Structure 1
Amino acid sequence: MNYTRIMQSLLLETAPLQHGLEEDRRILTFHDPKVYFDCVHEWNELSGSASHLQNVSYSSLTHSIIASSSLTARMESEFKHDITVEEDSRVCIHAVQGSIGSGPGVPWGVKQIRAPQAWSISTGHRIKIGVIDTGVDFSHPDLQHSVTRGVNLVNRGMLPYDDNGHGTHISGTIAAANSTQGMIGVAPRSTVYPVKAFDHNGSAFVSDIVMGIDWCVNTGVDIINMSFGMQTRSRALLDIVSKAYQSGVIIVASSGNDGKRRSVDYPARYPQTISVGATDRNRRIPPFSNRGQYVDIYAPGDKIVSAWLHGKYHEMSGTSMATSHISGTIALLLAQKPGIKPATIKSLLRRTSIPLRLRKGRTMSDSGEVHTLKFLREGLKL
């Protein structure tokens, strides 16, 4: 393939990629890894220091580049046997806004899954959790010792500051550690690696998620928390999730808030992820949560109070909130038993879960709510 010609055609584009313009972006995946690396090298040679070209992104795991759409028709026809071109679809966070709350100490969800009883065994020390979300409030007192630098994919020149609140909320449930005045998360000595892929509206693109997972794998995180989803398939997303799974990274994904009984959103639909549904204080599935055979485990997700912007607290509901409980739970085990494979973690979560309550006194048998202490004890026997 004449990859010099490919890169020169890309260089004809003078307009930078802009976050938030769906029609401007395409994901180009190369079938031959060597051609991909040759193209990246050629791109770096040709582009020089042109500032508008710095917005082109690469995923070395999937051999993909992100480019503007106006040239993809020409490239798709000219190199149709060598490149797969995918439209860059929107992805949204899985949460419903609630109300301002106060510092909850140990939140009800953390108590319900029996995390405090597990802290004498593990607090998740040194486990790295990539939170692909809206960023984090670095100044929040409950997250001062729980967060590291991370990466900002929306604005590469900045730290991943949270301008929405969702990412801070997720991070608080996972790893908040302020026992005196604030709240405590499920794994208070784990470390959150914030990956800002979502803008202030809680919106991202598949390419942002691809780049976020790529960054997490290359950074060496143990767990990736993905509290978001979409209802359309994406080859690029499946490819990067598969690569992360094969590398041993555990991916925890929210099932979605559409109240569906036989379906969940992507990427939770992929078997390489751990799909999470929500429960309430009565161990029932709230109406908003997706449920059924594609949900691997449930966790508290209704009216969850956690950290928020400007050092505050906020109540939110959604399978997003449930997912953060599961990420923290897995961190507790990995701190004591590093290297457990994702498939083993998923099986253990299901096997040690508590049956959920259904209407008319029945219980659900196929998957239940996480029991952190039982999960940890059984995992230590492996």
Structure 2
Amino acid sequence: MDTTAFLRWLHSIMAGSGSGTRKRIIRFRHRKDYLQFIQASSKSTQTRPLLQSVKHLPLIQAISCPLPDTGILPYLGDRIWVEDDRPLNVHSILKKSAAVDKGIPWGVKQIKAPLAWSQTTGHRIKVGVIDTGVDFNHPDLRHSLSRGINLLSRGMLPYDDNGHGTHIAGTIAAANQLHGMIGVAPRSTIYPVKAFDYNGSAYVSDIILGIEWCVRNQIHVINMSFGMKTRSRALLNAVINAYNAGVVIVASAGNDGNRKSVDYPARYPQTLSVGATTRLRRIAPFSNRGSDIDIYAPGDKIVSGWLRGHYNEMSGTSMATSHVSGAIALLLARHPAMSPADIKATLRRSMRPLRGTKAPRSTGELDILKMLQAADR
């Protein structure tokens, strides 16, 4: 690849881009081309200032930048892949203020987490929550948080300005039994990765940067309570790289009530795809379902932490996903050598059957005691 010509083209097309511009991801097929681009672009930012807005995605040998609908260099067709940098949204559908479920919320009880705490509490397991950030001052989370990273504003802590990320973190690892609530794995550590803005929106490139940060910081479990309808090769590439690095990725199925398919990234086989159940252990009406679901967990009317130390009741496959991430933290604290494939197999052979005449027989609801027994065998 002629890196100088590519940089010149990239700068000129960014400078001339108008109303037909969209964020794109450009992946380099060959690592040598990518490394040459990185080296050359770092020397060119002063003479070509627009290149400072190019987002580097080293986990997948790619960049993200605004490009017009036409004008991709045709002779680079065999050296690069180009795709839209698509938007994603967090997976929740209902919220209302709530008094805290003093002590142990119903979902944490339903999956039998308290019965496992004599064996494991998730100690030393790092859970990356790629979401809207977290309320660092929440009394139930103060002892469960690491610094994490804010991908939207690198110099700041990943403060939550939406509430969704705090809710997810609370279900996974809240630890305030005397005055507040307790999560599934109260001695695990949450690493908040703020990729979503106050509206609960992000781009695929933000998620890829979040996954890369988690891989680089040796995070054990990544909670992904979000999704989109369209497939992204770039996101799949990032998920595969994390999976190969031994990171367990837990992803929410989506809240469209779709009976045959789930959202991405939950549809990728390298993730653990989670659907939502109710207190009656039936599939929640809003939950996507189908053969791509690996496991179900409580996701209807879940009370957890919220902004400014408050609590909210929320429903969605997001909430189900956080229960599964906490369960995996409990499992890994007891069996740290388990691979993502081992964990998925263990979960799938230890589920409780779902209730309901139309409930699928191929999958079931999370049961932490059965999960630990299956892993011990």
> Residue 3 of structure 1 corresponds to which residue in structure 2?
3
SS at match of 1:288: coil
**Shift in Å at residue 215 of structure 1?**
1.2
User: How far did residue 272 of structure 1 move?
Assistant: 0.5
The equivalent of 1:184 in structure 2 is: 182
Q: 1: CA distance between counterparts of 2:275 and 2:20?
A: 29
Q: Who is 1:169 aligned against?
A: 167
Name the % identity: 57
> Does the Cα contact within 8 Å between 1:280 and 1:286 map onto a contact in 2?
yes
Determine if the alignment matches structure 1 residue 84 to structure 2 residue 86. no
Q: Separation in 2 of the partners of 1:14 and 1:363? A: 52
1:329 to 327, 330, 340: 327
Equivalents in 1 of 2:143, 2:51: separation in Å? 36
Answer yes or no: is the 8 Å Cα contact 2:107–2:298 preserved in 1. yes
SS of aligned partner of 1:366:
coil
In the alignment, which of 357, 361, 364 is matched to residue 365 of structure 1? Answer: 361
Cα shift at 1:231: 0.7
| Contact 2:171–2:323 (8 Å) recurs in 1 | yes
Tell me the TM-score normalized by structure 1: 0.93
- Tell me, yes or no, if the aligned pair for 2:125 and 2:333 is still in contact at 8 Å: yes
Amino acid at match of 1:276: V
Shift of 1:60: 1.6
Q: How many residues get paired?
A: 374
SS of alignment partner, residue 98 of structure 1:
strand
Matched residue, 2:150: 152
Query: What do residues 311-332 of structure 1 show as CA deviations (whole Å, max 9, x unaligned)?
Result: 0000000000000000000000
Show the counterpart of 1:378. 374
Unaligned runs of 5+ in 1: none
Using the TM superposition, give the Cα deviation of residue 263 of structure 1 relative to its aligned residue in structure 2, in angstroms: 0.5
Deviations along 1:177-232, one digit per CA (max 9) or x if unpaired, are 11110111101111111111111111111111111111111111011100011111
The alpha carbon displacement at 1:97 in A equals 2.5
Superposition map of 1:11-160 within 5 A? 11-12=11-12, 23-48=21-46, 53-70=51-68, 73-104=70-101, 105-160=103-158
Change (3 A) 1:125 1:85: same
SS at match of 1:181: coil
Following superposition, the deviation at residue 50 of structure 1 comes to 8.1
Q: CA deviation at 1:53?
A: 4.6
Q: Distance in 1 between matches of 2:175 and 2:159?
A: 19
Aligned residue for 1:74, secondary structure, equals: coil
1:368 shift after superposition: 0.4
Q: CA deviation at 1:366?
A: 0.7
SS at match of 2:65: strand
Matches within 5 A, 1:299-314: 299-314=297-312
1:227 and 2:215 equivalent? no
In the TM superposition, what is the alpha-carbon distance from 1:4 to its structure 2 partner?
Answer: 2.1
Q: Report the secondary structure of 2:152's partner residue.
A: coil
Q: Deviations over 1:285-316 (max 9, x none)?
A: 11100112111000000000000000000000
> Could you list the per-position Cα deviations for residues 318-372 of structure 1 after superposition, in whole angstroms to 9, with x for gaps in the alignment?
000000000000000111111211111111111101000014xx76421000001
Q: For residue 282 of structure 1, what is the aligned residue in structure 2?
A: 280
SS in 1 for 2:343: helix
CA contact (8 A) 2:276 2:284 kept: yes
Deviates more, 1:210-219 or 1:301-310: 210-219
- After TM superposition, give the deviation of residue 156 of structure 1 in Å: 2.2
Q: Distance in 1 between matches of 2:83 and 2:44?
A: 25
Question: Mind listing any 5+ residue stretches in structure 2 that lack a counterpart?
Answer: none
What RMSD over aligned residues (CA atoms) do the two structures have, in Å?
2.0
State the distance in 2 between where 1:373 and 1:8 align. Answer: 59
How far the C-alpha of 1:51 sits from its partner, in A, is: 7.4
Which of 211, 214, 229 aligns to 1:213? It is 211
Task: For 1:6, give the aligned amino acid.
Answer: F
CA distance in 2, matches of 1:195, 1:64: 20
